């Protein structure tokens, strides 16, 4: 009986390990960047994401072949802590955190639902039509946007893209200063350049 239980435990442990290895075959590199660009009544502004947390990233490079039918990216979960958005100006940061309701909703998240190849892939460059759920300040919206992918070196892939949104769609009041005489525009653009390397 003990031998049977040991065998079952070993099988489950091995199987779980294989699944984990498949889902974590690629890791996000530190040189990856993400930023939010906006405007105001006096000047444009940029906030960089100093922390990007990506989990549940499943990527199949073989799906980039010309005769492949499956999507190369089947899942991805992204989280950016609001307090890790850095504009380089302390007062701007504080107003931005308040507008994004940091205390009640400390994270901006994106959950991928699909990423389909747009046309054929050359193997070294490709385009994905992606969709998923973006959550900001506790409000979730389904969004769609293209992502450009490329092989930058053996085992390393780069994904770039951007998405423009209206902050008021997420119940976010654009930050203002000087008693409202300086006010950010409603539209902001989130852009990213993510690098994944095979482990």
CATH number at residue 104: 2.40.128.110
Our measurement of the distance from residue 51's CA atom to the centroid of its chain's CA atoms, rounded to an integer in Å, reads 11
Structurally, how many domains does the chain consist of?
A: 1
Full residue range of the structural domain in which residue 149 is found: 2-198
Taking Cα atoms as reference points, which of 186, 189, 191 lies closest to residue 172? 186
Q: Check pLDDT > 90 for residue 69.
A: no
Taking Cα atoms as reference points, which of 199, 197, 198, 192 lies closest to residue 32? 192
Which pLDDT does position 114 carry in this prediction? 95
Low-confidence winner among 5-9, 63-67, 105-109, 165-169 (lowest mean pLDDT): 5-9
Query: In the structure encoding, which two tokens stand for residue 10, read together?
Result: 């070993």
């Amino acid at each position: 009986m003990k031998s049977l239980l040991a065998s079952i435990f070993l099988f489950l442990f091995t199987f779980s390990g294989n699944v984990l290895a498949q889902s974590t075959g690629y890791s996000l590199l530190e040189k990856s960047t993400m930023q939010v660009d906006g405007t105001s009544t006096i000047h444009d502004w940029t906030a960089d994401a100093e922390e990007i947390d990506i989990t549940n990233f499943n990527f199949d490079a073989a799906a980039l072949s010309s005769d492949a039918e499956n999507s190369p990216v089947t899942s991805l979960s992204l989280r950016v802590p609001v307090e890790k958005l850095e504009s380089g100006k302390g007062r701007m940061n504080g107003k931005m955190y308040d507008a994004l309701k940091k205390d009640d909703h400390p994270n901006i998240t994106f959950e991928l639902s699909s990423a389909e190849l747009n046309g054929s892939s050359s193997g070294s460059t490709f385009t994905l039509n992606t969709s998923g759920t973006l959550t900001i300040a506790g409000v979730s919206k389904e969004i769609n946007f293209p992502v450009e992918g490329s092989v930058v070196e053996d085992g390393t892939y780069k994904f770039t893209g951007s998405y423009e949104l209206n902050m008021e769609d997420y119940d976010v009041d654009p930050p203002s200063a000087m008693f409202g005489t300086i006010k950010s525009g409603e539209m902001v653009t989130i852009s990213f350049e993510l690098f994944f390397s095979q482990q």
